[in-house]
Structures are given as structure tokens and as C-alpha cells.
Structure 1
Amino acid sequence: MHGRYVLDKYYSRGGKAHMQRRNLYLLFAVVLVLIGAAIVTSLYVQAGRQITSFEEARPLPGAVLYDQDGEVIKRLGTGSVYVPLDQTPQDLQNAVKSTQKSKAINQRLARQILEPQGLWARLQLAILPSVLERRYSKRERLEIYLNNAYFGEGAYGVEAASQTYFATPVKNIDLAQSALLAALAQEPESASPFSNANRAREQRNAVLAQMQQAGHIDRNQQEQAAQEAIDANRHAPGYAHHFSDYLGNLLIEELGEERVYQGGLRVTTTLNRELQKFAESMFQDAKLDGALVALDPTSGAILAMVGGRNYLEDSTNMATVKRQEVGTTLRPLIYATGLQEEWAVNHLVEDIQRDFGDFKVDNADDRYWGPVTMKHALVMDLNNAAAWTLNELGLDRFNEFAQSVNLNIAQVDQHLRLVMGEVREGLSLLQLAAAYLPGVSGGNYAQVSAIEQVTDTQNQKVLTDQTGTPKRILSKEQAYLFTDMLLPGTQYGSIRALDMDFPA
């Protein structure tokens, strides 16, 4: 009996120990499960935070400049432009979906959100696609991806890519261009048309074939798009580039660089699209370099501005840069000052070679007319007649007229050499063009303007045209006479050789 009691006691103790070990293992397993659940939950929470931070960190786009037709001129700054999916061409959506499955898009999007550094970040990256799938619909994920994908040449997002490769908003691209962008999303460097046009064509056509196989396009559409040439020329996005630079600098002076480049501003400009395109084409067709400014006579609004023939080769704006040599462009303004002094157009001025103190100038071909009318002196562009007129009127009197049309001539330049266009401090084409406005606006001068209004993301006005009311410089009669004095120059005067197929 005693032996059996001992044995039972032994087995009882062994059973309890076994149960204790089993309970310990069970507790350990539960703890592991809880820790694992906590880790997974933490990963999900932190992955969600990464997505939220990614959305919040996206900068607003730079200011968008619009012409008078409501079309985009150019976008300033580097902030990405977010394009809703319903404004993205269907061909582009189909091209991307044909070449990248939903899972691949999720993984690429996760890579855009998080660049893993360390084990914990890698774990977050692994779980991000699942979090994205729970958080967004398939369309929303595609939209986010298209607006953040890298397409090469520093272009992030479909709008930047379209402007970079085609110099047009993404809403305007065709099937072939859509296929090329889809190819660039996968091979942003090797498929660049700028560095490897053959590879770009090969990859684009491969995308077109996949679109046809997926039923998004038919065989005829595929073949036609595949025949389109690859444009290997670099483009400056938008148009009116010199005008955009000029306006961008004005905006920065008023609002600051950060707000202009990352403030999401909408800028309605004074630019006339048709006139600007025509002006640009004139320089391109004639293969001539130079500058042009077209102003609205009544308001002073800039309707067109060309600062050079090839912006990519030279971005210098010859319309706004100040020149120390401005030719004889100041002479008509000298005679306009005479009109202000009630001189008639047949007022006699002296075209005789003489010394004017420390200034002396020869006429062209060493030919002198003697006493001539003011109008004839201007039409024939007579050097000594202009010098005599400026000397007779007085430099102070001419400077007074110049200031009234916003030509601020420095003290060092208030000299008779102005008749020869020597201005050490310089004057720009834009300044000089504006100074002529009274002649074509009934005698009024309106300050030059390029902006109608600027609004923010809430459609609140940030800036409006503040040029004010035009001021009278010449009487209507004087303005008419001023223009009348200029017209014969193209008929029989000093600029008759100009080939002008429109009235001056």
C-alpha cells in the first residue's frame, strides 16, 4: 500500500509538471501572437502614416500663366501638377493598364511613397501595397501613380512628362504619344526619345501591340500609331517663353519666389495667343534673331513679346534687356517734345554741320540740307537736324517728356549724344515701344501691364492690374501729327527699304 501511494504521488507530481510546461508553452505562444499582432498593427499604422505624409508633402504646383483665350502659356516652378484621372486621356490610362498589372502599379506606388532604409522600413514597404489596396480604389491608385511616376528628363507625373516630351498639356496627347509615355514609365532613361529614338520607337510600338492584344485598340489604330514619327527634339514646355520669364520676375517681386513657384496660383495675363504665335513664327520662318513687342495702344497691355528666335539656345530676353546703343529710336520722341511746345510739323530746324560744345556728328554721306521742316528732318533721319532740335528744346525739357512716358534717363546720359542713341545706363525695347503709345492712342499714355489678375487655390484675388488711369501726354491733334510725321519714313524716308506688307 505504501509503495502504491508513493507511485501515485510520483505520477501526480509528473502530471502537474507536464501541465505547467504545456500552459507555459501556451502562454508563450499567446504572447508571441500578441507581439506579432502588435507588430503587424504597428506596421499597418505606420504604413498608413507614410501614405498620409506622402499626400501632405506633395507641393502645390507653380503659378500657371493663361492667355486671353484661357489656354495655358506656361507653368512656373517645379511643383507637380496633379491631373485627375477623368482629365487624363483614356488612351494613356489603357496604355499603362496594358503594360502594368494592378499589383505592379501598387508596388511601384509603394516605392514612390517609401524608399526603404533598414529592416523596419523594408517591412513597411512589404505591407504598403496591401494598405494602399484597402485605402484606395483601383482608379484612385492609378490616378496617384500617374501623377507621381518618373518619366525621365526630370519629369514626375504625366503633365510634366507631356510638357517635356511634346510641349503640350497631357489632355491633348494622342494614342502614339500615350503609348510612349507608358513605355517611359517603365524605362525612363533608356527609352528617352532625346537620347535613343530607336529604343523609344521600339518600346512605344511594343506598348501599342499590348494595347491591341488587350482589346483597347484595333489593328488599324495600332498600325497607324506605330507609323508616327518619334520627335527627338527637346522642347521648352509651353510657349511665349521670354514673356513668361518676364512675368515670372514681376510676380516674384510682388509675391515672393516660394509663392510663385509652389503656391498654386492662377495668373490671367494680357497675352493674345494668335498674335503671339504669329510673332514667333515670323522669326522662325525668316531665321532671324531679334525681338518684338506688341502693346495695346489704349491699355498698355502686352499682347505679344518675342525676346529671341530660339529660347533653348539663348534665353536672354532681348525685348527687356537694356541696350546702351538704341539707334535713332529716341529722335521721334525729341520731335514729339517739339509738338508739345506747339511747334508745327513744318517748323524749320537747321541741318547744318556744326559743333555743339563737346558734341559733333556727321550726317550720312556727309550731306546737309540746311533749314528743313521738322517732319522732313525726321523722315530723312538727319543727324544734325536732330542734334539742333534737342539743343534748341533743351535737355531738361526732353527729359521731362521722357519721364512722362516712363523713360527714366540717368543724369549721366542727359547729353546731346542721345540723338545717336547712346545711353550708358541702357534702355529696353519694351520701354521704347511703350514711349510711343501716345501717338497711337489719341495722346494718352498707359503704363505697360502684363497681368489682369492673380488668384490662389481658393479662387481669391491675390493681385490685379494696378496700372491706373491713362494720362494725357499729347493733345489729340499733336498725337495725329506725331503719327503723320512717322508714316512717310516707310514710303520714301530712311526706312523705306523695309519689306513691310502691312501699314506701319
Structure 2
Amino acid sequence: MTAVRSKSTFLGALLKWGLVLMLAGIIALSVAVAIAWSDLPSFEDMKRSPNGQSVEIRSDDGTVLVSIGPSFGEWLSYREIPATMTNAMLTVEDRRYWYHPGIDPIGIVRSFVVNIMVGNRAQGASTITQQLARNLFLTSSKDYARKLREVVLALAIERKYSKEIILELYLNRVYFGGGAYGIDAAARKFYGHSARRLSLEEAAIIAGLVKAPSRFSPSADAEAARRRAATVIAVMVDAGRITPDEARAADPALVRFAPQGRLAGVRYFTDWVLTELENLTDEANEPLQVETTLNAAGQAWAEAAIRAEAPKGSQGALVALARDGAVKAMVGGTDYVRSNYNRAITARRQPGSAFKMFVYAAALESGITADDIYDDKPVTIGNWSPKNNDGRFAGPVSVRQAFALSINTVAVQIAEQVGFDAVAEMARRFGITTPVDRQPAMALGASVATLFEMTNAYATIANGGLESAPYAISRITTGSGRVLYSRAAGETRQVVAPVIAAQMTQLMQSAVEQGTARAAQIGRPLAGKTGTTSSNKDGWFIGFSSGITTGVWMGRDDNQAVRGLAGGRAPARAFAQYMARAVGGTPPEALVTDVAEDEMFLEPDAQSYGITPDGEPQTEGEPPPAEDGPRLDQDWLDQTLKEPQPAPQN
């Protein structure tokens, strides 16, 4: 009897202390929840993007080129969220959402039993409110202390906010992969439209991403995303969220996904766009959508052309400009992953004979004509005697022949006749910003320039001597649709008279049809010029046809020679490979090689020429000293800036 009484007393004491501890736990939990409740931020504070600004850069057809930073899309209120989206999410994430206080006791018990039977943490029991607490305030660690804090915060959130507000916060903040936070960001990323008009199939795909964003992401595995959506739809029927007829009418196989961002080569362009973006808007908080001029298909062709033609161990770059200055393609190197140095924009290289365009433009402006005759013979200026690549001299040749065959001695004679200062000023007028060497060797391209500048100069010739400033960004909007920038018609300036541009086009057409640039031909009217520097260190081709001007450069970053590199070879072939596709499908256009009488003497804007208001030429800084030896060292100049050329035509 005594033993029974003792056992009863022990059980009574155990129950008593158990109740005391439970009460103490409830009090402690209540105090913790009350403290958390008082510390919770306001609804407006929780709406703010917590992880910085996102920028989405698109091509001219709307294709996403790259998304940088987190994407939060547009904030949708609870009433704006489609019921299909709400039902799909509640079905797969929290069926008893409307009934529990922030934690789900039934789910906890079920999870505990399953985990005991099949292994620890095989099934979770987090409610939507707990997930929201974790996403907003906690880390993703799996320790019990973090889980306890999650429970406290979930209970506090349920006390402070309505179920509708909590669901609104969750659906606008949950992560769906690919940098997309919230259903609107996910809808725009995967479908290209707002979450306001999600179909049942689309909503099911998004709801299926929460558990494993990378595994079921449409951008990673579209078929896996569709299979997961079919499962979600079946579960929705089981939960009574939709009818069997609605489920049968929904077909995830019919969902079409938006084109996803491209990587690698296009990053040269998008990196440059980001630097330009800073000059056009000071918006630093809202998500930005940047519409650019880049043609997505053309960019792929440009990258393929450079990869295919760049000699082994060398780099390549390409820039393509439309008539209005819009950048249609940009390749800054053969492999962005290995080197993000943009050789199209930043690299300053000697252009070789491609620089002769400025020599001959100055000559034509001074009154020299394409039919004037010069003697291709040995020339000496000071202690410098320039030579032709083949070491021979053709005798009397026309200006047209000299340009087409890239004869060095005639180019130097013409530059000396019109004045080396005049040639330098012509390069300045065409937008060359680097110091121009005014020594005689400048006639053969001894100065440096960027591919972007040189391509723009040739585009000016293609445009009748009228320069349209190059640009890449056409429109900038926020995620909510607010327009921050929309490009108006750009300013232009007349660099040379139309008649000079037409005459230069004639010379360049001769170079393609009869001279050093024959490898660039694409079966339609084309004008351009090759360039090759000392010991084949740089190869250039720049030309235009049917409204597009494209420049190609190839060489090594360490400025070492590249065996067999010449402007009329790999660069010209890469140009042809890209341009044949870029202008393919458009009607061939005749080149402007003649102008009407009333345009013959059109005067350009003096200030755009680099002329001061008082009529004096603007001066520029002293040219940089040569790195090795005398500037006009005979041995160096014997090899400088020459390119392979065919024998003179009879």
C-alpha cells in the first residue's frame, strides 16, 4: 500500500512539475512573442527591397541579355494576386494556412512521425508564416536555436498582421530562383509578363519552384518544371482548390517560356552599358529595365565570326553600328570568362593602313582627285624611307589605285603634300581622341586608336559625312513601368562635305573590288579598308554595306606578332561572315559614290572640325615619346605598318 502511495505521489509530483514547466514555457514563449511583436518593423518597411537594386538589360527585340542583382518585380497587393497563384501556393506549401496561429501543430506531429520512421529531417513542417520569418529576418541554418526563433517570430507576425497581409508579403518576397524574388519577378523572368495574368499552368510552375528553385527552374530544365507543375495541379484537385475539369483543361506542356539571358560574349556589351547607365539616371533603389540597341541574333553571329577567324593565341574584337549610331553588335574578345577586358572599347592599337582613310579624306578636301597620278617610287623624308610590303615600286599610279592596293609610298607623299597637321586634324574631326602623332609615319597609322572610334569614323563616311553619335541605350524604365529615360533623336554634325564622303566611298569600294580587301566581299555593294601593322601585330578591316558599318580588329594583348595575320585575311573574313548574315534578307543598297550639285560644297560645322571660334586650329598635347629607340629608326620603319598586297594590276 505504501509503495502504491509513493508511486502515486511521485506521478502527482511529476505531473505537477510538468504542468509548472509547461506553464513557465508558455509564459516564456508569450513574453518572447510579445517582445518580438513590439520589435517587428512596419508593413511598409518589410515591403522595401532588402538586397539592393536589380538591373535587367534587354536587346532590341526584348530578349533578356543579362539580369544583374536580385529582381523583385512589381509589388502586388493581395487583391491583385490571381486566385490561381494563391491557391497553388497554399496547396503545396501550407494547406491549413487559414486556420493555424503561425505554426501548424498537425503538421509538426506528422513531420515528427515521418522523420522518426524514415530518417531525421526527411520532412519539414514550416508554415508560410515561418518561411516568411526566415526569409526576412533569419539565416537558412538548420540548428534548433534558429528554429525556435523562427517559431517565435511566426507567432508574433500572426499577432500583428492579418492573414492576407502575411500572404501578400510572402508571395512578393519568396525566392523562385534565377535571382527572382516574388511572383511578379518570377512571372516576368520565366514568361515575360506580369503576375497579374498568370494562368493556372503558369501559377503551378511557379508554386512548384519554392522547394527546389534550381532543380525545377524553367531556365535550367523546362521539362522538369512542366512535370512538377502537373504534380502541383493534381495536388490542387486533391485539396479541393480546383475542379477535375479545371485540371484537365490545364496543360503545362503548352506553357511557353520567355527567352532567358545569354552569357559569355554579350557581357562585354552589357558591362559597357552599365557604365553608360550611370550618366542617364540617378535612380538607385527601384529595379531597372534597360532597353538597348543590340540585336541578339546579330550578336551571336558576331561572336561566332570572331571565334572562328581569330588566329590561335590571338584576340579579336568587333563593333557594328547602324546609320543612326545604334550599336548592333559588340565583341570585346574571344572569351569573356578568361578575360573581361573590352578590346572594342578600351584597347588602343595602331590601325595601320586603316588610318589612310584620314590621309585620303584630307587629300580630297584639298582638291586632289581619285584620278590624279602619283609616282610609286622610293621616298625619303629626313632619315626615313618608307617601303611597300612587296619591296617593289609600281611607278605611276592613280590615287584610286594607290588606295585600293594600300601603297605606302603614295600615302606618305600625299600626306606630306596636304600637310601632316591637316591629316591629324582630319582624324580629330572624325572623333579620334587619342594623341595623333604628327611625324611622317602617321600617314601609315603609327598613332593609336580604339576600334570603336575607328568604326564610328568609317560610319560617318557611310552616312555622307554626317556623324551620328554612337549609342546603346534607347530606354530605361523602372519595374513599375515609370520611364526614366527615352532617347530622342540624337544630335549630328557634318564632319566632311557629302562630296568628300562620296569620293572616299569610291576609293573604299575599289579596295574591296580590286585591292587588299577582296576577302571581305559579301555579294552586294561594299566599301572598306584593311589595316596591318608592323610584323603583323594588328589586323584590321572596317567597312560598310546596306546601312551597317562594322569594324574588326585582331591581335595579341601582349603586342607580339601573329604569324599570317593581315587585315585582308582573318579580319576581312570575320567581317564577311558577320555582315553576310547581318544584312542578309534586306534589299541590297547602292553605295553613295556621287552627290547632287547642290551638295557639292556643303560646309561642315567649323567647331565640329576642331576649329576655335577665331579660326585657328585647336592644338593637342605633345605626342608620347617612342618606347624603343629613335622615332624614325630606319630598321623599325622598314617593317612598320605594312600589309600584304597583290601585285599592281595592269
In the other structure, the counterpart of 1:395 is 420
Provide the rounded CA distance (Å) in 2 between the counterparts of 1:169 and 1:323: 43
Q: Report the more deviating stretch, 445-454 or 308-317.
A: 308-317
Q: Which runs of 5+ in 2 are unaligned?
A: 1-25, 98-126, 140-144, 311-315, 527-650
Output one character per residue of 1:89-142: Cα deviation in whole Å (capped at 9) or x when no partner: 99876654442225333321222122287899556413145247x4352xx655
User: Which one-letter code corresponds to 1:245 in the other structure?
Assistant: D
- Output one character per residue of 1:464-494: Cα deviation in whole Å (capped at 9) or x when no partner: 7699642222222212111111112222221
Deviation (angstroms), 1:249 = 0.7
In structure 1, the residue matched to 2:155 is 127
* Residue 46 (structure 1) aligned to one of 35, 39, 44: 39
1:101 maps to: 94
The TM-score, its normalising length taken from structure 2, stands at 0.56
Code of the aligned partner of 2:395:
G
1:379 corresponds to which of 401, 404, 414: 404
Paired position in structure 1 for 2:117: none
Bigger proportion of residues as helix: 1
Of residues 66-75 and 34-43 in structure 1, the stretch that sits farther from structure 2 once superposed is 34-43
Alignment of 1:203-222 (within 5 A): 205-215=227-237, 218=247
Alignment pair present for 1:329 and 2:354:
yes
Between 316-325 and 287-296, the greater mean CA deviation after superposition:
287-296
- Indicate the SS of the match to 2:453: helix
**Match of 2:319, SS?**
strand
Please report how far the alpha carbon of residue 342 of structure 1 lies from its aligned counterpart in structure 2 after TM superposition. 1.9
Distance in 2, Cα, partners of 1:144 & 1:237: 32
Q: What is the distance in 2 between the residues matched to 1:222 and 1:455? A: 34
Which residue of the partner structure matches residue 270 of structure 2?
244
Larger mean Cα displacement after TM superposition, 99-108 or 457-466: 457-466
Which of 51, 59, 82 is the matching residue for 2:74?
A: 82
TM-score of the pair, normalised by structure 1: 0.70
| Separation of aligned partners in 2, 1:442 and 1:168 | 40
Residue 365 of structure 2 corresponds to residue 343 of structure 1: no
Q: Which residue of 2 aligns with 1:317?
A: 342
Change (3 A) 1:286 1:161: farther
Instruction: Determine if the alignment matches structure 1 residue 493 to structure 2 residue 511.
Output: no
Larger Rg: 1
Cα gap change, 1:246/1:159 in structure 2, threshold over 3 Å: closer, same or farther? Answer: farther
Q: CA deviation at 1:400?
A: 0.7
Helix, strand or coil at the partner of 1:323? coil
Task: Read off the aligned partner of 1:125 and give its amino acid letter.
Answer: L
What displacement does 1:52 show? 4.1
Q: How much has 1:385 moved relative to structure 2?
A: 2.2
SS at match of 1:82: coil
In structure 2, how many angstroms separate the alpha carbons of the residues matched to 1:89 and 1:242?
39
CA deviations on 1:357-392 (whole Å, 9 max, x unpaired) are 354443233332223222211111222222332233
Identity among equivalent positions (%) equals 22
Inter-partner Cα distance in structure 2 for 1:331 and 1:46: 72
Aligned to 2:518, the other structure's residue is in SS state coil
1:277–1:161 CA distance, 2 compared to 1 (3 A):
same
Alignment of 1:88-487 (within 5 A): 96-101=89-94, 103=97, 104-115=127-138, 124-131=152-159, 134-135=161-162, 137=164, 141-142=166-167, 144-152=169-177, 156-157=181-182, 182-188=207-213, 205-215=227-237, 218=247, 224=253, 236=262, 241-252=267-278, 259=282, 262-265=285-288, 267=290, 269=292, 271=293, 275-284=295-304, 288=308, 290-297=316-323, 299-308=324-333, 311=336, 315-410=340-435, 413-423=437-447, 426-452=448-474, 469-487=491-509
Give the residue type in structure 1 aligned to 2:276: L
Secondary structure in 2 aligned to 1:293? strand
1:330 is paired with a residue of what secondary structure?
A: helix
**How far did residue 315 of structure 1 move?**
4.0
Instruction: Indicate if the aligned counterparts of 1:445 and 1:471 stay in contact, CA closer than 8 A.
Output: yes
**Structure 1: 5+ residue runs without aligned partners?**
1-32
Q: In 2, are the aligned partners of 1:64 and 1:266 still within 8 Å (CA)?
A: yes
Distance verdict in 2 for CA 1:500–1:175, change over 3 Å: farther
Whole-Å separation in 2 of the counterparts to 1:376 and 1:407: 26
Is the Cα contact below 8 Å between 1:62 and 1:260 reproduced in 2?
no
Partner Cα separation in structure 2 for residue 182 and residue 362 of structure 1: 72
Cα 1:202–1:243 change in 2 (3 A) is closer
What root-mean-square deviation, in Å, do the aligned CA atoms of Structure 1 and Structure 2 show? 4.8
Distance of 2:373 and 2:340 partners within structure 1: 46
Q: Distance in 1 between matches of 2:223 and 2:64?
A: 29
> What is the Cα deviation at residue 183 of structure 1?
4.2
Secondary structure of 2:368's counterpart equals: coil
Tell me the amino acid that sits aligned with residue 297 of structure 2. Answer: K
Q: Which amino acid aligns with 2:45?
A: S
Number of residue pairs aligned between Structure 1 and Structure 2: 452
Instruction: Report deviation, 1:444.
Output: 2.0
Aligned partners of 1:61, 1:486: CA distance in 2, in Å?
Answer: 47
Tell me by how many angstroms 1:76 deviates: 4.7
